[in-house]
């Protein structure tokens, strides 16, 4: 019997475990792959307090070491297959075991949608990025590209225009999905070049660095190679919430809904991090939500 079981060991899950342990809860963290989540695939992190610059894998290791320094936290590499959430005692079912717990914290995160083009996997973290606010500063003064047509892509293009010498915005349609006001602001910025009706076809590079992207115009079928130091892919995210479907209230996009205490619509079940319905998806915000969820689980148990 555990006081809380945390599903996922990204920054939200790790921080939730630390705060749960500090509250005296017997805690189990279940992670199907490795501690760190999307951090592991991030080449460099320069916006997490306490580290001027650190690689994603190194920061993940730091999180893991910190978490396992607490005696009441168990970390197991297991894939959760099913959940029973009704009643005071919940069950978490993996291929190997069935665990009972008083509370559950979802920290399953989300994964960025990928283009699925040649060079994307090869140069991931080395000029292929899914987070302009995370990695944009590393390309200060350089020419970059962003792919997408929604609010995130447009906002990222405006953000990058303040840092980079030029921004190529590649959008597969001739109109943006983002609102008129922000699009009007986008079009006024001189160092942003918009490539309408176009898609990225291939990412090129050498010596572990991106140096160009081939883009294709869908109407004319013209193919051209654009010099760039980085391609930022902003075509959306996919929350990793399959376990919660049909069990917990979600948005249309399959993000878990919670209140300010990370409590879902089911008593004793909480969610934190990128899989939760929130505005900003960063390491620091995931960690903050994990802290709230860990403390909320403790309060819930105290009032049972």
Show which residues are catalytic: 131, 134-135
Distances (CA, A) of 195 to 42, 191, 228, 289: 27, 13, 14, 38
Three-state secondary structure call for residue 76: strand
- Terminus-to-terminus CA distance in the chain, angstroms? 16
Buried b (16+ CB within 10 A) or exposed e, 107-135: bbbbbbeebebebbeebbbebbbbbbbbb
The DSSP code for 39 is G
């Amino acid at each position: 019997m555990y006081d809380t079981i945390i599903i996922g060991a990204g920054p939200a899950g790790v921080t939730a475990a630390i705060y749960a342990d500090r509250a005296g809860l017997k805690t189990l963290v279940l992670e199907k792959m490795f501690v760190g989540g999307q951090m592991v695939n991030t080449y460099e992190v320069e916006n997490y307090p306490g580290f001027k610059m650190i690689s994603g894998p190194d920061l993940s290791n730091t999180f893991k070491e910190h978490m396992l320094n607490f005696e009441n936290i168990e970390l197991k590499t297991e894939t959760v297959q099913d959940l029973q959430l009704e009643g005071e005692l919940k069950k978490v079912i993996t291929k190997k075991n069935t665990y009972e717990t008083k509370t559950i914290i979802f920290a399953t995160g989300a994964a960025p949608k990928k283009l699925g083009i040649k060079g994307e996997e090869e140069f991931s973290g080395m000029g292929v990025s899914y987070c302009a606010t995370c990695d944009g500063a590393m390309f200060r003064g350089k020419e970059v590209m962003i792919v997408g047509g929604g609010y995130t892509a447009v906002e990222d293009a405006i953000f990058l225009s303040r840092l980079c010498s030029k921004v190529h915005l590649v959008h597969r349609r001739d109109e943006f999905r983002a609102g008129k006001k922000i699009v009007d602001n986008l079009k006024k910025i001189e160092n942003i070049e918009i490539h309408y009706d176009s898609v990225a076809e291939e990412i090129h590079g050498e010596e572990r660095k991106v140096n160009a992207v081939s883009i294709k115009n869908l109407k004319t079928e013209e193919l051209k190679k654009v010099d760039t130091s980085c391609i930022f892919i902003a075509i959306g995210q996919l929350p990793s919430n399959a376990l919660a479907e049909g069990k917990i209230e979600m948005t249309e996009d399959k993000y878990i809904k919670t209140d300010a205490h990370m409590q879902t619509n089911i008593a004793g079940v909480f969610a934190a991090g990128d899989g939760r319905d929130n505005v900003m998806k960063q390491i620091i915000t995931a960690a903050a939500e994990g802290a709230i969820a860990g403390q909320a689980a403790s309060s819930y148990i105290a009032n049972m």
